[in-house]
Amino acid sequence: MMIIMHPGATKQQVAHVIEHIEAHNLSAHVIEGVEQTVIGAVGESHTVSTDVFETLPGVQTVQRISQPYKLASRQFHPHDSVFPIDGFSVGGEEIAIIAGPCSVEGRTQLLEIAQAVREAGANALRGGAFKPRTSPYAFQGLGEEGLEYLAEARELTGMPVVAEIMAVSQVEIMVKYVDVMQIGARNMQNFNLLRAVGETRTPVLLKRGLSATVEELLMAAEYILSGGNTRVMLCERGIRTFETATRNTTDINAIPVLKSLTHLPVILDPSHSTGHAAYVSAIAKAAIAAGADGLIVEAHQDPAHAMSDGKQSLTPEAFAKMVSQVKSVAEAVGRRVAVPLAHRERG
Amino acid sequence: MMIIMHPGATKQQVAHVIEHIEAHNLSAHVIEGVEQTVIGAVGESHTVSTDVFETLPGVQTVQRISQPYKLASRQFHPHDSVFPIDGFSVGGEEIAIIAGPCSVEGRTQLLEIAQAVREAGANALRGGAFKPRTSPYAFQGLGEEGLEYLAEARELTGMPVVAEIMAVSQVEIMVKYVDVMQIGARNMQNFNLLRAVGETRTPVLLKRGLSATVEELLMAAEYILSGGNTRVMLCERGIRTFETATRNTTDINAIPVLKSLTHLPVILDPSHSTGHAAYVSAIAKAAIAAGADGLIVEAHQDPAHAMSDGKQSLTPEAFAKMVSQVKSVAEAVGRRVAVPLAHRERG
Amino acid sequence: MMIIMHPGATKQQVAHVIEHIEAHNLSAHVIEGVEQTVIGAVGESHTVSTDVFETLPGVQTVQRISQPYKLASRQFHPHDSVFPIDGFSVGGEEIAIIAGPCSVEGRTQLLEIAQAVREAGANALRGGAFKPRTSPYAFQGLGEEGLEYLAEARELTGMPVVAEIMAVSQVEIMVKYVDVMQIGARNMQNFNLLRAVGETRTPVLLKRGLSATVEELLMAAEYILSGGNTRVMLCERGIRTFETATRNTTDINAIPVLKSLTHLPVILDPSHSTGHAAYVSAIAKAAIAAGADGLIVEAHQDPAHAMSDGKQSLTPEAFAKMVSQVKSVAEAVGRRVAVPLAHRERG
Amino acid sequence: MMIIMHPGATKQQVAHVIEHIEAHNLSAHVIEGVEQTVIGAVGESHTVSTDVFETLPGVQTVQRISQPYKLASRQFHPHDSVFPIDGFSVGGEEIAIIAGPCSVEGRTQLLEIAQAVREAGANALRGGAFKPRTSPYAFQGLGEEGLEYLAEARELTGMPVVAEIMAVSQVEIMVKYVDVMQIGARNMQNFNLLRAVGETRTPVLLKRGLSATVEELLMAAEYILSGGNTRVMLCERGIRTFETATRNTTDINAIPVLKSLTHLPVILDPSHSTGHAAYVSAIAKAAIAAGADGLIVEAHQDPAHAMSDGKQSLTPEAFAKMVSQVKSVAEAVGRRVAVPLAHRERG
């Protein structure tokens, strides 16, 4: 930790900072510059908050040198985390494609689209049973009924299922029904929820918040990991910027940045990150070209009549075309799209 | 709702959109422009999602004309909502000043600072018992013990207390101990939590999310109001932008914008919106000059040793100076800072 | 143009708006909604500013339906613009790769790196002679001397050269020396400069401003096109957001968005859009996968001693590796990297 | 300057960095942390770019400790710069109010509004003769004719005039006609223009760019100051963020931040920073409460027929009301609105 003193800081103020540093069992190293003094605090500073020094008289700013996360860091875990999820694996050579409707709208709708995306090459099924909606007047999901349909779709297709968890009270039911629990963007810093899923052993798909930095995403993952749940995959889903031509701005830079900072698998959601079906395929290909480990994509058999997010949902035909193009790009960068479980079994 | 067709949309596509409009019991009005056709959908469109039309063939975009919120809207409730909260009132002529430490750190700390801010002119006491922290390794609050100290501080000073609620499971205990439940910025779209506090009759201080639009803040308030809890005050606490000179960017425009769109009281948190004690007073004055109904400010008897947010906390002396300056500005704009309950009683 | 009236607008106010619409030779179409009235203004509204109506009494907002740009629009020019630039072409099937140092630092430096990037597969050479620098104390470029070296490098390698123009007074000299004039991000809305390059017939590489929307970029292109210079290529180079892990945020969405809105070629600058050499190759591949027509990349024979932007410059080896990977991705999406002129001639 | 090494940096890499530091006549101070080594470079580092070290092997990041600007810094010039501008002064106890139309539209329009704003209490007249417009098809200003009308308005009212300069070629004519040259937001980093106005001795009103940081604004001022022109006033005019409820987001924090970092006067433009006449007065008051030294406000005798920016222009009546309210707030914070020259003379 580096403590940068104000240009006019007195010797007493510097001495006072040094006392504080030593009181935290760290050692102090002073560099007197031409205009300003900088004091390094060396030792196990990981659990010491920068707040402790920022408020001392004469201090201008405090900069942490080492990363505030450990369990999520590649520094302490150099090799990629690869983990199997009932039929597919994430984080290794294979690209995982998770697809399905925004919301589970009914039994027929779900079973139909599940079969369609499996045929087109999906490895896992997504579908929301509890829906976070900006308006209290909008469709809020089918709840447990939706989870039952997801379980039935898994039976039918052999694909593991991914669904969003919105509250601590849903942990028990989610663990029972789904293979992967998704933490949505709006809940990325719902710390109680992060702790709760951290205590389960069900894999977690953690979406980046609309205005969360890459570091905050890794700190959110750290909450889950610190509970002992090691199977966390991170998901870039677009950030909020001034640009209104698309629903969000895909932060494609986050893919190589995350791959360098963490060992956890990183996937991208081109449906939310663009908000328009017309742009999904281009961004899906870009994600794989940039090094993403997978995709999560919204698909619906009849987007015009979807109860939510129809605008950004692909038809089964468009989805199949996207998978085919993604396969080519994956090969161009030395990877391959995972073969769905059901196909393997047949083969 | 206006449905804007693509330049090349066919007559059949226009007819198809009209059918859809009528199927939702709305009437369609077609305007054929030189390049593009626009179709107005008139009627009770409030509960119809724009999604329904955005995905129809030939549609370019759909624009909602009327506001998506009703209960929070000044349009349907032209007069300011003014509500009493055990000893002070918000939303009327008087300016409310809520002050106290970021976290309740212990009994002595809280009682001391509570008395200090009351003496300096605060109307209510803030203090966190459950703390949302970016790092799982940081101090997470004293929990119920903290709430007990808050209750004791209320007894001692006569000031109502404000504390943050982080989870649905805390509703019961919060209702028991506090006068105002705060929903923090990171939970502004934790819809389960919004619904839960909406079912209580305890006043709510709803903070704007880091990257939430004014409209999303009003929709979050709508969730609470739709549960029947009418005492919601909104709080601007800075948004996330590219500027790093301050912790957040105070969106001062949001004050007059919110006052024009909603009847709910609007307050500002200059501690979080700047992140530096040195700027708090200037922004507190600006808020009142711009029309805010109150302030929530962090104060600590020894910011250098605060367990959280010391950097942005005022000392009792600095807080007293701020209150004195805020009083002058309040008078300059035809308002006055509320006299604390205890003072009134004595007087 | 749609004029949306306030909920409480009077009949007189509606009538007054209609008069204004007709005074501009447009026809008015009124839709009376349940809460609000909307008035469509139909006709040649392209040259009528929305300002004209926004300030009339009773008007809430005005929304333009048709695009404010014409010459840049794909609507009026459905086919891709493909234009040859002395040895390579942009906008067609072939991917163009422009590479070279941030600044021309000297004769030897430039000739060396020019040959190196040509060997590695570059189609054109970039290099700055006039440098926009945040600090008045930083290296500002070699000026005309730099342009002379660029001309010499063109002779030597056969590659056309691209350099930034910073001021109207430089037009004459730039036209004399370079094949493509670059307008930098900070000058994207330097309208005098846009008009000046629009009057030349030298191709222009127009970079998107740090906080410019896609629509503003197209309006800037419209300035150049309206002067009669039709050879404008657009360049995404990262936008400014809250994320600080990279220098800028690559708006990868802008690639498919621009390709759908305009017929002009679209390239991407992964050096500026990431700011770190380590991420350049990943983002270069993503750009091509997303549909970009080319790349502009910073390369330097000794980045550690570059006079500017060394941090984001590739070594010749890293650049060669990037080109090889980009070739694979280009093929995967049905395109190919253009063969440098000199290679063709030899072949 | 602090050079932070990667966790895995070797001793040779550290030694290489030290060599580089010493080669720039700086001295190196090494702090070996538990995970990472930090090297301080002490001495006259002001003219040494961080680029020099960022690209060395083993370096993670480089952080500049001292400010990159000197002439604009309060550190080297602790007292406020107060400068007289033909009839009013800026930066001292008095608040300056500059007002007038967005564009000079004609002689009668300008003379009328000039007299109206003077009567209402303005100290200086603004009006654009050269207009930066997003669309090449919009009104671009009257040019020199407009400047002549401004000069006539000055004769008539005794108020100094402020107008925007858009190009280096306009310096001569601007110096002849106006009292203050404005650099617009889009030209804040038009470095050639900054240098050109820096060589004159005409005061400059420098507007912050839409996405410029406070530090970049100060660096732009440094360009002008380094040319010897010391009369630079800075203007906050709103930044671009995700919020669309207002045209821009007023960064009110920038007022106290700038006042702490620089000795230059700081004013605010509530017309552009909100984009709506309805919000101008609230934000004008907030600016003065926060410590601004003045305001620049758009006013028009008939906003509904203004050729530009009518939506955000105040009528003379609304402007007079704003001035009256601003006066009260100014007094509340211990300042006063300057009495217009003409009034003083009469008195």
Which two tokens mark A33? 């510059």
Last residue of a domain, one of A11, A30, A63: A63
CATH of residue D113's domain is: 3.20.20.70
The DSSP 8-state label assigned to residue C47 in this structure reads G
Query: Which residue's structure tokens are 């009518």?
Result: D310
**Same-domain pairing of D52 and D141:** no
Pairing between β-strand B88-90 and β-strand B83-85 as defined by DSSP bridges = antiparallel
Residue of A nearest to B54 (CA): A311
Q: Is the Cβ pair B134, A219 closer than 8 Å?
A: yes
Please state whether C287 falls in left (phi above 0), alpha (psi between -120 and 50) or beta: alpha
Instruction: Residue D282: list chain B partners with CB under 8 A.
Output: 255-256, 289-291
Asked whether the beta carbons of residue A306 and residue B219 sit closer than 8 angstroms, the reply is no
Cα dihedral B287, B289, B292, B293 sign: positive
Length of chain C: 347
**Which of A242, A257, A273 lies nearest to residue C211, judging by beta carbons?**
A242
- Residue C135, pLDDT above cutoff 90: no
CA distance B125 to chain A (A): 22
| Cβ pair D44:A34 closer than 8 A | yes
Interface of D with C in 39-58 (CB under 8 A): 46-47, 49, 51-52, 54-57
At D277-331, the pLDDT tens digits run 999 999 999 999 999 999 999 999 988 878 888 889 999 999 999 999 999 999 9
Give C303's contacts in chain D (Cβ within 8 Å).
55
Q: Which chains, if any, share at least 3 CB pairs under 8 A with chain C?
A: A, B, D
For residues D52 and D186, state if they share a domain: no
Percent share of chain D, pLDDT over 90: 75
With contact defined as beta carbons under 8 Å apart, do B311 and B277 qualify? yes
Same domain, C144 and C47: no
Residues B275 and D164: their CA atoms lie apart, in Å, by 35
Determine, for residues D136 and C186 on separate chains, whether the beta-carbon distance falls below 8 Å: no
Task: Give B 196-215 residues with CB within 8 A of chain C.
Answer: 211
Tell me the residue type at A136. P
Sort out which chain B residues have CB atoms less than 8 A from A189's CB and list them: 132, 134, 186
Query: In angstroms, what separates the C-alpha of A333 from chain D's closest C-alpha?
Result: 27
* Secondary structure (3-state) at B201: coil
Among residues C96, C92, C11, C101, the alpha carbon closest in space to that of C310 is found at C101
Q: Kindly report the backbone phi and psi dihedral angles of residue A98, in degrees, each rounded to the nearest multiple of 5, phi listed first.
A: -100, 130
User: In the 3-class helix/strand/coil scheme, how is chain D assigned residue by residue?
Assistant: CEEEECCCCCHHHHHHHHHHHHHCCCEEEEEECCCCEEEEEECCHHHCCCHHHHCCCCEEEEECCCCCCCCCECCCCCCCCCEEECCEEECCCEEEEEEECCECCCHHHHHHHHHHHHHHCCCEEECECCCCCCCCCCCCCCCHHHHHHHHHHHHHHCCCEEEECCCHHHHHHHHHHCCEEEECHHHCCCHHHHHHHHCCCCCEEEECCCCCCHHHHHHHHHHHHCCCCCCEEEEECCECCCCCCCCCECECCHHHHHHHHECCCEEECHHHHHCCHHHHHHHHHHHHHHCCCEEEEEECCCHHHCCCCHHHCECHHHHHHHHHHHHHHHHHCCCEECCCHHHHHHC
Torsion of Cα atoms, D113 then D119 then D121 then D126, to 10°: 20
Look at residue A268 and tell me whether its pLDDT is greater than 90. Answer: yes
Does position A344 have pLDDT exceeding 50, yes or no?
no
**Which tokens go with A83?**
């983990």
DSSP state of C314: B
pLDDT at B332: 97
Q: Determine contact, residues D273/D284, Cβ cutoff 8 Å.
A: no
Identify whether residues B20 and B117 lie together within a single domain: no
The pLDDT-based confidence of C51 (bands split at 50, 70, 90) is confident
DSSP 3-state assignment of A139?
Answer: coil
Task: Mark which of A42, A63, A84 sits at the end of a domain.
Answer: A63
Q: Do D23 and D57 touch, CB atoms closer than 8 A? A: no
Q: Which residues in chain A touch residue B57, judged by CB atoms under 8 angstroms apart?
A: 304
pTM: 0.94
| CA angle centred on B10, ends B9 and B14, rounded to 5° | 85
Q: Is residue D344's pLDDT more than 60?
A: no
Residue B286 to residue D283: CA distance in whole angstroms: 8
8 Å CB contact of C211 and D216: no
Domain housing A47: 2-63
Q: Same domain for A13 and A142?
A: no
Same domain, B52 and B92: no
Q: Are residues D59 and D92 in the same domain?
A: no
Q: How many CA atoms lie within 13 A of B302 on its CB side?
A: 9
Q: Where are the alpha helices (DSSP H) in chain B?
A: 11-23, 51-54, 107-120, 144-157, 171-177, 191-198, 214-225, 254-261, 270-274, 277-290, 316-332, 341-346
What CATH number has the domain bearing residue C36?
3.30.70.1140
Together in a domain, B239 and B203:
yes
Give the gap in angstroms from C-alpha A211 to the nearest C-alpha of chain B. 6
CA gap A288, A323 in Å, rounded = 11
Cβ contact, residue pair B47, A137, below 8 Å: yes
- Tell me whether residue B277 is in a domain: yes
A133 to chain B: nearest residue by CA? Answer: B191
> 3-state class of B27 per DSSP?
strand
In a domain, A234, yes or no: yes
Place of tokens 């008045």: C136
What are φ and ψ of residue D180, in 5° steps?
A: -135, 130
Note the pLDDT of residue B310: 82
Whether A68 maps to a domain, the answer reads no
How far is Cα C73 from Cα B58, in angstroms, rounded to an integer? 19
**For residue B344, what pLDDT is reported?**
47
**Does the structure show a pLDDT above 60 at A343?**
no
In a domain, C72, yes or no: no
Residues β-bridged to residue A327: none
- Compute the mean pLDDT over every residue in chain C, rounded to the nearest whole number: 92
Same domain flag for C129 and C15: no
Closest approach of B124 to chain A, Cα-based (Å): 25
Query: Does A285 map to a domain?
Result: yes
Do A200 and A58 belong together in one domain? no
Segment (H or E) for C329: helix C316-332
Report the alpha-carbon distance of residue A270 to residue D182 in Å, rounded: 43
pLDDT band at C344 (very low <50, low <70, confident <90, very high): very low
With 50 as the cut, is the pLDDT of residue C277 above it?
yes
Q: Inter-chain contact A44–D31, Cβ cutoff 8 Å?
A: no
Q: Cβ separation of B36 and C244 shorter than 8 Å?
A: no
Find how far residue C325's CA is from the centre of its chain: 24
Separation of alpha carbons A64 and C181, rounded Å: 43
| pLDDT value at residue D139 | 81
Domain end residue (candidates: B10, B31, B63)? B63
Average pLDDT over residues A133-139: 82
pLDDT tens digits for range C76-106: 899 999 988 877 789 999 999 999 999 999 9
For residue D75, tell me if it sits in a domain. no
Residues A219-247: tens digit of each pLDDT: 999 999 999 999 999 999 999 999 999 99
Counting as contact any 3 or more CB pairs under 8 A, the partners of D are: A, B, C
Three-class SS of residue A91?
coil
What is the distance between the alpha carbons of residues B212 and B186, in angstroms, rounded to a whole number?
10
Decide the pairing of beta strands C161-165 and C180-183. parallel
pLDDT of residue C178: 96
Q: Is B288 left (phi over 0), alpha (psi -120 to 50) or beta?
A: alpha
3-state secondary structure of B247: coil
Give a yes or no: residue A69 inside a domain. Answer: no
For residues D47 and D150, state if they share a domain: no
Residue C176 and residue C41 in one domain: no
Task: State the pLDDT at residue A346.
Answer: 38
Q: How far is CA A81 from the centre of its chain?
A: 14
Among residues 113-172 of chain B, which lie with CB inside 8 Å of chain A? 132-139, 166-169
Token pair, residue A76, equals: 């302490």
Residue C45 has pLDDT above 70, yes or no: yes
Q: Read off the tokens for D324.
A: 């009256």
Q: Which of D26, D79, D20 is nearest to D54 (CA)?
A: D20
CA-closest candidate to residue C43, choices B34, B35, B4:
B34
What was the pLDDT predicted at A76? 85
Residue D251 bridge partners (DSSP): B251
Least confident of C64-78, C204-218, C323-337: C64-78
Q: pLDDT tens digits, residue range A66-102?
A: 888 999 999 889 999 998 887 778 999 999 999 999 9
Domain count, chain A: 2
C-alpha distance from B144 to closest chain D C-alpha (Å)? 36
Q: Is the pLDDT of residue D263 over 90?
A: yes
Please write the tens of the pLDDT for every residue from D74-87: 988 999 999 888 87
Q: Please tell me whether residue C71 adopts helix, strand or coil conformation.
A: coil
Residue D97 in domain: yes
Distances (CA, A) of C189 to B164, C185, C219: 46, 9, 9
ipTM for the predicted complex: 0.93
| pLDDT, tens digit, 9 for 90 and up, residues A247-263 | 999 999 999 999 999 99
| Distance between B212 CA and the closest CA of chain C, angstroms | 14
- On the question of pLDDT at D1 being above 70, the answer is yes
**Interface check D2 vs C, CB under 8 A:** no
Report C:222-261 residues touching D (Cβ under 8 A). Answer: 222-223, 226, 240
